[in-house]
Amino acid sequence: MHYLDESHILLFLIQIFILMGCARGAGELLRRWGQPALTGEILVGIFLGPTILGRLWPELQLALFPPDAIQQTMLDTVAWVGVLFLLLDTGLEIDFSIAWRQRGSAFLIAISDIIIPVAVGFAAVYFLPDRFLVNPEQRIIFALFMATVMTISAMPVAARVLHDLKLLKADLGFLVMSALAVNDIVGWVLFTIILGTFTTSTAAVGPIFMVFTSTVGFAALALTLGRPVSTRVFDAVKRGKFPEPATSLTITVLLGLLFGVVTSWLGIHALFGFFIAGVVVGEAKSLSEQTRGVISQMVHSLFVPLFFANIGLKMDYIADFNLPVVALICAAGIGGRYAGAWFGVTWARVSRINRDLISIAHTPGGMMEIVVALLALEADLITPAIFVAIVVSAVFSSMLMGPWLARSLDRRAAVTPARFLQPDNIVADLAGASRAEAVQELAERIERQAGSGTRDILVQMAMRREDEFGTAIGEGVAIPHARIDNLKNPVIAYGRSRQGIDWDAPDGVPVEDVFFFATPMGTEDIHVQTLSAIASSMASADMRRRLHAASGPEELYAILQSLLVGRKPHNRLVRT
């Protein structure tokens, strides 16, 4: 029997130091180039694993990552803790109750974005040669699994790209995230059922039915009863003024562990429990955006890089690379998800101008595709060649989304938001101390142009939007907005708050610059481009300093006119 000794601990610390340092560095470098960090993290593992270092310097590679059972178990354990927390954080980004209240467009898109990719994925892989299957007799289960892989879209990747393009807080971003929320939940339920069916020792209907009822029953119970309980707990934390974000982080992790234990006991994978725990916690409105951000930063800076770097160490990606299979899975996955979303937005009668953008936002597989593939690989459901193909497809689709989305924006006719702002709509010193008061104060200015009686409608629409999906974008900026029927032309009102307003911003910074944007119905293109232009321009620290130093409405108007010039040709990802 082998026991853990000091040599194992020493090598483990060296492994963590190398993997975390290189993965974080490569991830940040790729992120600055407008690509997802997971690409750099996986590439680090591939370089340090048997694929590159093992070929160039096999002695060093074996010395750093020996095939010792204890050593591999230590590294795998830390990596799996990372993926458990990744699923917890993914769930936190989902607000299922908002998606449920939306129904309509979000649900139609989600339903289509599940059915069509499943059909395309199943048809694409069902006739693969036997050598790519672990057990050719389980071809149907294998095809169903692959279809599920090609269905789950990468919500974190979509959110990151929409944020970088300054579209996340727009109505378009809200619709995309609502549809992806439903897609994620249904996709994980499907995968959990398929994995449970595969690992069931018998093909009898009874055990398979138990897996199905346990998965669906647990998800339904958690999503219905979990929300009010979660809300009460976090409301109590807020009232009790417990130290934050430590208290909320502890409660979130404990709930994840509890749900993980319950799902494991039910015969469902613990990852599903962590995912549902994140969804339940995410429903609590009293959990601030700043606290959510701290949890996300902890997960993505510590655990996630180790997990994806460890993915690269798993195998020889050159030996197991098969170009036709990789091309098939890339084409079926990206094409199926795009077609599914396109049919959904057409079915939901979403504005034609936004259909391409929404469809592209559904194409990345990203982190979740790789996580699901690793589970299947360890359960002997797929071969190494299929695993490599899924990883390549996930990375490629994630890298493709940003440039593809930016190119789609570039094809639109340019908008000049400056013409929507009039001198009378500048408030140099907002009197309101809350976001509701600030919104009402700016709505009064818009009413002068929109006509009598529109103020209350504007406030109601804007505050409903704030309750569902806050419009603070960080750096002290918020862009509340509303779309109403009886407005003739788009209108922007700007207010500056000297004291700062608590707007539940992602970075926790009080809001000092408020842009209230009102648009008529049917002007979706103007709505999207104007919000993007405001957010991009206000990302400049120099621009914010100029606004804060301005002496009065006239100077503020002149600065804002130069700020709101609209986007330039060849829109790029903008970094804050």
Q: Is residue 53 part of a domain?
A: no
How far is residue 116 CA from its own chain's centroid?
A: 22
Residue 89 and residue 128 share a domain: yes
**What is the rounded distance in angstroms from the CA atom of residue 499 to the CA atom of residue 490?**
29
Q: Is residue 8 part of a domain?
A: no
DSSP 170: S
Which CATH number does the domain housing residue 478 bear? 3.40.930.10
Residue 536 and residue 393 share a domain: no
DSSP 203: -
Q: Is residue 115 part of a domain?
A: yes
Residue 146 and residue 274 share a domain: yes
pLDDT of residue 212: 75
DSSP 510: P
Structure tokens that stand for 83 in this block: 């993926």
Q: Is residue 279 part of a domain?
A: yes
The SS3 of residue 516 is strand
Residue 424 and residue 404 share a domain: no
Domain end (from 410, 440, 460)? 410
**What is the rounded distance in angstroms from the CA atom of residue 191 to the CA atom of residue 189?**
6
Q: Is residue 320 part of a domain?
A: no
Structure tokens that stand for 391 in this block: 């990883």
Cβ-based burial of 141 (10 A; exposed 0-12, middle 13-18, buried ≥19): middle
Residue 469 and residue 449 share a domain: yes
**What is the rounded distance in angstroms from the CA atom of residue 234 to the CA atom of residue 292?**
13
Q: Is residue 571 part of a domain?
A: no
Residue 367 and residue 501 share a domain: no
Look at the block and give the residue holding tokens 């994630």.
Answer: 398
Position 30: which residue type? L
Which CATH number does the domain housing residue 349 bear? 1.20.1530.20
pLDDT of residue 103: 55
Residue 424 and residue 399 share a domain: no
Position 488: which residue type? K
State in Å, rounded, how far the first CA of the chain is from the last one: 53
Neighbours of 213 (CB within 10 A): 12
Q: Is residue 204 part of a domain?
A: yes
Domain end (from 364, 393, 410)? 410
Best CA proximity match to 190, nearest among 152, 139, 140? 152
CB 96 within 8 A of CB 185: yes
Cα separations in angstroms, 105 against 176, 182, 349, 355: 10, 12, 8, 12
pLDDT of residue 576: 27
When divided into structural domains, the chain yields a total of 2
Neighbours of 30 (CB within 10 A): 18
**What is the rounded distance in angstroms from the CA atom of residue 14 to the CA atom of residue 7?**
11
From the CA atom positions of the chain, what is the Rg in Å? Answer: 25
CB 4 within 8 A of CB 70: yes
pLDDT tens per residue across all 576 residues of the chain: 567 778 888 999 999 999 999 998 998 888 788 777 888 888 898 999 899 999 999 899 888 888 877 888 888 888 888 888 888 888 887 766 665 555 567 778 878 888 898 899 899 999 899 888 888 888 888 888 888 888 877 777 777 777 777 777 677 777 787 777 777 777 777 777 777 776 654 445 566 677 778 878 888 888 888 878 888 888 888 788 888 778 888 888 899 999 989 888 887 778 888 888 888 888 777 777 777 878 888 888 888 888 888 888 888 899 889 999 999 999 999 999 999 989 988 888 877 878 888 888 888 887 778 888 888 888 788 899 999 999 999 889 888 888 888 888 777 767 788 888 888 899 989 988 898 999 999 998 888 877 777 888 888 888 888 877 788 888 899 999 888 877 788 889 999 998 899 888 877 789 999 999 988 877 777 888 888 888 888 888 888 888 888 888 889 988 888 877 654 433 433 332
**What is the rounded distance in angstroms from the CA atom of residue 389 to the CA atom of residue 150?**
12
CB 436 within 8 A of CB 463: yes
Domain end (from 410, 441, 467)? 410
Look at the block and give the residue holding tokens 């007799």.
Answer: 137
Structure tokens that stand for 499 in this block: 């004291």
Q: Is residue 219 part of a domain?
A: yes
CB 89 within 8 A of CB 296: yes
pLDDT of residue 207: 63
**What is the rounded distance in angstroms from the CA atom of residue 489 to the CA atom of residue 478?**
21
Residue 180 and residue 219 share a domain: yes
DSSP string, 236-279: HHHHHT--TTHHHHHHHHHHHHHHHHHHHHTTS-HHHHHHHHHH
Residue 475 and residue 521 share a domain: yes
Residue 164 and residue 99 share a domain: yes
Residue 452 and residue 402 share a domain: no
Cα separations in angstroms, 175 against 78, 92, 247: 35, 17, 31
Which strand (E) or helix (H) includes residue 499? Answer: strand 491-501
The SS3 of residue 286 is coil
* Phi, psi for 261 (deg, rounded to 5): -65, -45
Neighbours of 355 (CB within 10 A): 18
Residue 355 and residue 478 share a domain: no
Best CA proximity match to 106, nearest among 190, 160, 171, 152? 171
CB 413 within 8 A of CB 566: no
CB 515 within 8 A of CB 556: no
pLDDT of residue 330: 92
Please count the CA atoms within 13 angstroms of the CA of 461 that sit on its side-chain side: 18
The SS3 of residue 576 is coil
Which residues span the domain enclosing 538? 417-563
Best CA proximity match to 475, nearest among 249, 169, 174? 169
